[in-house]
Structure 1
Amino acid sequence: MSEEEPLTSNVRPATDALITVRIIKSFPYRNVKNLIIKDIDLKSTTPAQLFTKVITEINTLGAFRPFRNVVYDSLKIYSQAHGSKSMNLVINFDNDKDLVLLEKGESISDKGLWDLGVRNETEISIFNWEEYIEYKKNPKEEW
């Protein structure tokens, strides 16, 4: 009988998770920069609190200076650990109803991220909702 190793995404508790936030500056030009957030409590952190934390990081870290001229107002799950990823390299177009955590600055729920399906090693996108809708109508990539 062989013992299988647990998946690395399942080893960390929900109160000490790691997530990646994909900061999207431009959809057509695919300008995306990742922010790794460690030691986040998924059970007590709400989407609004995560949003505030990410905006603070964008406005204080020098690496995100080029990303400061976008009005970010939405959060959406891009992918889960060990799950399938979207064919689109910028954002996941699928299932807005279930994957959007914050839309136009309005929290979809006051529940914690855990209750909304965010797990350890989840990737979440932060972006401007109006630009997302425009890009979704015509997902043409520019150079």
Structure 2
Amino acid sequence: MSDQAVLTARLVRSFEHRNFKPIVFIGVNLDQTVEDFISFVKQDISSRSGLPPPFKKFDYDTMKVIHQAHGAKTNELVMSLEDDEKLILSGGCSLRACGVANETELAFFKMSDYEKFKANPQTTW
């Protein structure tokens, strides 16, 4: 089992408008903590070229597994609203302990926006 993984983080700015951008990270250490990975991603996107400024400056604070390699994908366009207890990465544990493996796709979003959308899941165009 390799310690280096390829992970995709889907930066979600708006659930209502389905506004997100996927970013791929190569060589991610799955034994780092969720907090360390979130800090790394925030730092990376703030200086990443080709990423529109609204995505760089957004206040992301939560990660959730969208799907695993070779697993079933959700029909939701942004991410599933189900299984939060199981799929939201909890602080204090490693990525691996939270079920993250090579080629996992994660959503990176602001929890307060997610809770508001989940209470009234309407999308607009």
Give the alignment's TM-score, normalised by structure 1.
Answer: 0.81
Q: Distance in 2 between matches of 1:82 and 1:114?
A: 17
Aligned length: 124
**SS in structure 1 opposite 2:11?**
strand
Structure with the higher helix share, 1 or 2: 1
Q: What's 2:112 paired with?
A: 130
Q: What secondary structure sits across from 1:98 in the alignment?
A: helix
Name whichever of 65-74 and 17-26 sits farther off.
65-74
Corresponding position of 2:34: 47
CA distance in 1: counterparts of 2:20 and 2:2, whole angstroms: 26
Q: Give the whole-Å Cα distance in 2 for the aligned partners of 1:138 and 1:87.
A: 18
Residue 112 (structure 1) shift: 1.4
CA root-mean-square deviation:
1.3
Structure 2 match to 1:4: none
Q: Give SS of 2:6's match.
A: strand
Distance between the aligned counterparts of 2:91 and 2:42, measured in 1? 19
Pairing partner for 1:84 from 72, 77, 97: 72
Whether the 8 Å contact between 1:14 and 1:114 is mirrored in structure 2 is no
Where does the alignment leave 5 or more consecutive residues of structure 2 unmatched? none
User: Which structure 2 residues correspond to residues 1-143 of structure 1 after superposition, within 5 A?
Assistant: 13-42=1-30, 44-64=31-51, 65-101=53-89, 108-143=90-125
Give the match's secondary structure for 2:65.
strand
Report if the CA contact (8 A) 2:60-2:109 is conserved. yes
After TM superposition, the runs of 4+ consecutive aligned structure 1 residues lying more than 6 A away are none
Give percent identity, aligned residues only. Answer: 32
**Alignment gaps of 5+ in structure 1:** 1-12, 102-107
TM-score if structure 2 supplies the norm length? 0.92
